[in-house]
Amino acid sequence: MLHTARASDVVGALGPGEFAVLAPATDHAGAVKLAHRGTGALHDSLGSGTLLTRGSALKVGYDAVANLTYTPMDPVELLARASAAVRHGNPEPGYAWVRRFNGGVAQAPEGGAAATAVASRATPPGLLLEKRRTSS
């Protein structure tokens, strides 16, 4: 992940299979591009067997705003929003594995009641990558 990030990005491991990238001044399109670069780097490591194992599924959740001038930096809330997006966010068209935080309340995948309530407030963009095993 470090090789795909810019000098202004912050990359960290949240757990054995979870990574976070805080990417200032990145809009929705930039977050999707960053997800693709990160996914490519993770899949490249699959050949060496160091980060991912076969049968794993990768999901990316993010939150992004177009204008950082009006947005205070709040990394904790940002990570909470990215985490909610991974689990319940709106899939990006053509990239179902990349999910965007939908602004206020994350909807359950089946369109049911709200799964996670988060105050609607613009935050800087960020990503949370989550590796999960698929059932065999």
Question: CB–CB of 98/84 below 8 Å?
Answer: no
- DSSP H or E stretch at residue 33: helix 28-46
Asked if the structure places residue 5 within a domain, the reply is no
pLDDT number for residue 110: 44
The number of folded domains in the chain is: 1
Is residue 34 in a domain? Answer: yes
Residue 117's pLDDT is: 37
Whether 80 is in a domain gets the answer yes
Going residue by residue through the chain (136 aa), what tens digit of pLDDT does each one get?
777 888 888 888 777 777 788 888 788 888 889 888 888 887 777 665 554 555 667 788 888 865 656 766 577 877 888 888 888 888 988 888 888 988 754 444 444 433 333 333 343 455 555 555 555 5
In a domain, 104, yes or no: yes
Give pLDDT, residue 1. 72
Q: Is residue 118 part of a domain?
A: yes
Beta carbons within 10 angstroms of residue 56's beta carbon: 14
Task: Please report whether residue 3 resides in a domain.
Answer: no
- Is residue 2 a part of any domain in this protein? no
pLDDT at position 56:
62
Boundaries of domain holding 34: 10-133
Q: Is residue 18 part of a domain?
A: yes
Q: What are the start-end ranges of the E strands in the chain?
A: 10-15, 18-22, 56-63, 90-92, 95-100, 105-107, 114-117, 126-133
